[in-house]
Amino acid sequence: MRPIPRRRSLVAAALAALTLTGAAAVPASAAPGGQHRTAYYLAVGDSLAAGYQSTPTGGHIVGRGYAQDLAATLGERAARDHRPFEFTDLGCPGETTGTMANGGCPYPHSFGGSQLEAAVAYLKAHWKDEVLVTIDIGANDVQRCAAGGSLDLPCAMNGIEQVRTGLDRILGELQQAAGPHTRIVGMNLYDPFLAAWMTGDQGKAMATASVPLAGALNSVIETVDARHRVPTADVAGAFDTTSFAPLVPLGGQQVPLNVARIMQWTNMARGDIHANDAGYQVIADQFLAKLPKQYLH
């Protein structure tokens, strides 16, 4: 498998991606059975795909995230077209690119091996069907690098490199298993560490420093996606991740727009990096924006 170029070669990688083959979308009407065939949606990824949220009492729930929001919308559209619809969520809280590929999901799940093996088996079983696959992965490869209120730069760069190689393998194996009517869509990531802005001058410095690292991670994700001809839902853009201006009101003070987005659309007010209901819907909307016409009736 050819290695992914690093940041200095991002433009070349994007251009090279135009010559590579991938799992192209084929309209449902072009497939045998047309619009009456079952539409399938497979979500793979980490806790965001699993719909993980903490609760105010200190517990947590799963199954209330962007994949569920997206499935609800797609299910409604399929019903209007008189099409059956099936949704499967393999998302594993705590998953990294390494555990997704090699096994070791740290959360109880239905699959016994790796999430990637389960996804590949699913796609092979549905090779002739119309399947949408969404994927988010990479946050857990780097999030440990901000423990203790400071950023560990070597740790973060090593984590980004792990995402570069790990995501390449994951998308390659998914596309090998995918049939002609499968569509894979990835996503980039918001920056939860912007919330440190709310903790004082040291926190503001950490929040400011976190944005270039988030940008480096997202550039790698987008470049690997482009190599595999996988569109990337722009979650970072929707969360205004790089926008330290304008200042907007939040809790009786003026804060940068990107900080306000994180505080309003995630549970970072209680130290939980995961999106809340509003944030998950924003993510789902970014996936919807990348879907081909047969999903948009």
pLDDT digits (tens, 9 = 90+) for 174-214: 999 999 999 999 999 999 999 999 999 999 999 999 999 99
The terminus-to-terminus CA distance of the chain in angstroms comes to 38
Task: Assess whether pLDDT exceeds 90 at residue 3.
Answer: no
| Band of pLDDT at residue 297, cut at 50, 70 and 90 | low
Beta-bridge partners for 191: none
| Band of pLDDT at residue 296, cut at 50, 70 and 90 | low
Task: Assess whether pLDDT exceeds 60 at residue 91.
Answer: yes
Amino acid of residue 168: D
Q: What is the pTM of this model?
A: 0.87
Please name which of 15, 18, 19, 32 lies closest in space to residue 180, comparing C-alpha atoms. Answer: 32
Spatial separation of the C-alpha atoms in residues 203 and 151, rounded to whole Å: 11
Mean pLDDT, rounded, for 96-117: 94
pLDDT at 264: 98
- In this structure, are residues 211 and 147 in contact, taking their beta carbons and an 8 Å threshold? no
List the domains of the chain with CATH numbers.
Answer: 23-191+214-237+274-295 (3.40.50.1110)
Query: What are the pLDDT digits (tens) for 227-274?
Result: 999 999 999 999 999 999 999 999 999 999 999 999 999 999 999 999
pLDDT at 294: 64
Spatial separation of the C-alpha atoms in residues 52 and 208, rounded to whole Å: 27
The position carrying tokens 């920056």 is 191
Task: Assess whether pLDDT exceeds 60 at residue 137.
Answer: yes
Measured from the Cβ of residue 72, the count of other Cβ atoms closer than 10 Å reads 12
Q: Which helix H or strand E contains 187, and what residues bound it?
A: strand 182-187
Q: Which residues of 24-54 are buried (b: 16+ CB within 10 A; e: fewer)?
A: ebbebeebeeebebebbbbbbbbbbbbbbbb
Task: Assess whether pLDDT exceeds 80 at residue 148.
Answer: no
Q: What is the mean pLDDT of the chain?
A: 89
| Band of pLDDT at residue 9, cut at 50, 70 and 90 | very low
Task: Assess whether pLDDT exceeds 60 at residue 103.
Answer: yes
Beta-bridge partners for 241: none
Task: Assess whether pLDDT exceeds 80 at residue 22.
Answer: no
pLDDT at 24: 36
Q: Give Cα separations from 241 to 43, 141, 188, 259, 280 (angstroms).
A: 24, 19, 11, 8, 16
- In this structure, are residues 181 and 26 in contact, taking their beta carbons and an 8 Å threshold? yes
Q: Which helix H or strand E contains 274, and what residues bound it?
A: strand 272-275
Query: What are the pLDDT digits (tens) for 28-84?
Result: 333 444 557 999 999 999 999 999 999 999 999 999 999 999 999 999 999 999 999
| Band of pLDDT at residue 13, cut at 50, 70 and 90 | very low
pLDDT at 19: 31
| Band of pLDDT at residue 6, cut at 50, 70 and 90 | very low
- In this structure, are residues 188 and 167 in contact, taking their beta carbons and an 8 Å threshold? no
The position carrying tokens 């550039």 is 219
Q: Give Cα separations from 44 to 95, 170, 186, 234 (angstroms).
A: 10, 11, 10, 17
18: three-class secondary structure by DSSP: coil
pLDDT at 36: 75
Amino acid of residue 58: G
DSSP letters spanning 28-70: GGGSTTGGGSPEEEEEEESHHHHT-EE-TTS-EE-S-SHHHHH
Beta-bridge partners for 45: 136
Task: Assess whether pLDDT exceeds 60 at residue 25.
Answer: no
